[in-house]
Structure 1
């Protein structure tokens, strides 16, 4: 796609704008790989994504591509709870899909690496990947480590429960403060099997993320290595012309639903998987989900259903 700009006198104006960006002719001749960064400083699951993006850029460059970063928005559902902000969360999914499609096609990227993490950001970028349909790899920001209060592991749902316990007179203000200060100890998506971690695991099952995409903690150096491999892998997909709609098949979605049921993923997956499937030209309905649910045992009780965490 980007060779539209690199050949012929008619596109000299476009190349002049690449010159303004500081691109060399050598960089312009290489495949142009868009890295969709959802980094921001208001969402704990996204505050480390700048480091992930830097690693992806290195991977792309090592494999012979020219990496270019552009942004995607992301809302923290936890921070948005309890006020008007919650009305703005779900709608961002489609806004993310639309705006990423616009950026990818307007600038004719040859391939994409998506770097999401939280609830609506992951499905929005999966929808965009299916729409744009250039070779694409996902690498998420990774899950937060669990907190620890009085020797017990905790996550954000523990914090909400502590607020209720305090209101009911079951714990003291000092105990509530301890939950507040120790429940969310690191960057990353909230440490239970909430929507973000569910969708990051399902991205891996769908075949759009490398092994470990859903489970390597945000603070582990292993995630930086994963990001470098994601950058290299997208160049391999580009060389082989393997595109999202080649990967996002009906069977892939059936696999995702099977793992969804086995892991006990967030019920929000049934908001998002059908929307992603629709963009990929696959019909995924509740009847199919019920059919798979009936034959698939639930193997995990991760928080908030249990006291086990992704770490």
Structure 2
């Protein structure tokens, strides 16, 4: 392979060369080492969460592979945000902004040091998009290693995972199960390191990463620390060195066709709605004029649901992996995807899919025998959401409402809504408006999932609707819930003008969400609207809220 000049190799005798040589010789590197490709191993290890607890072992294995392939690995650390842990503070508003901290952490370390390539260890929800955003921004040869999902357990002979614990916490709040039952569930839900075992945001983003071409094909999803995963780790450590010499950069991979492939993959598994804003953010960082929301709208009429993994169906993530995983989905979608899109292997998806076979056609179904022909992710527009909103409806079973019409009950924070529910203040037919939770209103996007699960536990889930500018857990799949309403209430969007008793109509099939208030009245409310100051007066969330772009631009900190 032709060798090229590496940017990490400075001119001998210069001050940059001299001080770097002094530093790195003190670390044990030789002059010969310093001529090799220098690879950042981006590690999000943390003792705060089981999602990241195994990454130090993965990092050590990656570094061995990089050395064996003729490179020099340098491990760098970023924040490690776990939704179930970091969500405890400020109504979960630290979660989304942590994604951008990861991106900026990587930029500072890798660009500041002028390294030659990156291997990113992806785990929980925000690590994958944050890492790919950084790769797109600095456009340096990058390969993402998907670090696997956790094993689930059993509770009284029933499957038990973290999603079930989250859901049943709402049932406990409603008095439907005892504290002891919930406690026992939590003790049996997680049996190994790794991300949540359903098709939530983490496994959805791992599949997105593969479909974008940023991970070695065939690695999503994967059992954490399995022999298969560690084989991919070894292959990644060797492949990144070739990518550096080939100068295969993310912007050659992250094309408009790659984003269509990723969107089609998400729709085919009815994955997490959070993938949409993350894909939009990656497109922005890559400098692409791509409207990911419109891509989802366009493809939702073409792409059926080909896999029904928990929470939308009964299949486990293990069954999905064994059947073929994300690569199997792309094989089924072959007539609908862009086969010319590149992957980190240097081969196109057309080449990669040529010999792929589906191990279980009952788990990953063909296009003509899907689990469902109607989209499980629906983007709605209307007078309440002129810039769009998202519903995750999954498989549309009989008896589940796909339209709703009722009076608004307005809450400016989640605790007040939960208190009203507990006190009997929520009635069948209500449309619960939970607002002030957008990227600026949070700031950082508050989570509405706890309220949704509490409603489900109370038995009111099918009898009320929820509309919010906040975000929803990638595992949410109960009730009629509309999230990420745009423009958000904080900026004076229609959601911020709603009053108790206003009639709201939601129709999934017509993809509409309407606020029935006369135009003159709504205009008067808009005229009287006064934007509140950011609720975070200092620190990271204040900085984030002051600089973040709207969701339709990816909620990034650039391109405002």
Normalised to the residue count of structure 2, the TM-score between the two structures is 0.54
SS of the residue corresponding to residue 93 of structure 2 reads: helix
Which of 22, 33, 41 pairs up with 2:28? 22
Quote how far apart the aligned CAs of 1:114 are: 0.6
More helix by share: 1
More divergent stretch after superposition (114-123 vs 147-156): 147-156
1:44 equivalent in alignment to 2:44: no
Partner of 1:295: 302
Aligned to 1:227: 233
Other structure's SS at 2:73 match: strand
Which residue of 2 is the match for residue 304 of structure 1? 311
1:9 aligns with one of 13, 21, 32: 13
Q: Name the CA shift for 1:160/1:3 in 2 (closer, same or farther; >3 Å).
A: closer
1:111 pairs, out of 113, 117, 130, with 117
1:239 equivalent among 204, 228, 245: 245
State the number of aligned residues: 311
How far apart, CA to CA, are the structure 2 residues paired with 1:78 and 1:308? Answer: 23
| Matched residue SS, 2:119 | strand
Partner of 1:199: 205
| 1:74 paired residue number | 80
Deviation at 1:256, TM superposition (A): 0.4
| Structure 1, 244-253 or 155-164: larger mean CA deviation | 155-164
Based on CA coordinates, which of the two structures has the bigger radius of gyration? 2
Contact 2:7–2:115 under 8 Å retained in 1 = no
What's 1:143 paired with?
149
User: 1:4: Cα distance to partner?
Assistant: 4.6
Aligned to 1:283: 289
Secondary structure of the residue that 2:32 maps to in structure 1?
A: helix
Alpha-carbon distance, 1:201 to partner: 1.1
Per-residue deviation, 1:166: 3.1
Task: Identify the structure with the greater strand proportion.
Answer: 2
Match of 2:194 in 1: 188
- Could you give the per-residue CA deviations for residues 6-50 of structure 1, whole angstroms, max 9, x where no partner exists? 532112222112122221112111111111111111121111011
CA-based RMSD: 1.7
CA apart distance, 1:210: 1.1
Structure 2 CA distance for partners of 1:15 and 1:3, relative to 1, 3 Å: farther
Q: Quick one: structure 1 residues 223 and 107, their matched pair in 2 at CA, closer, same or farther if it must change by over 3 Å?
A: same
Compare relative contact order (CA 8 Å, sep 6+) and give the higher one, 1 or 2: 1
TM-score (norm 1): 0.94
Gaps of 5+ in 2: 319-560
Determine if contact 1:5/1:15 at 8 Å carries over to the other structure.
no
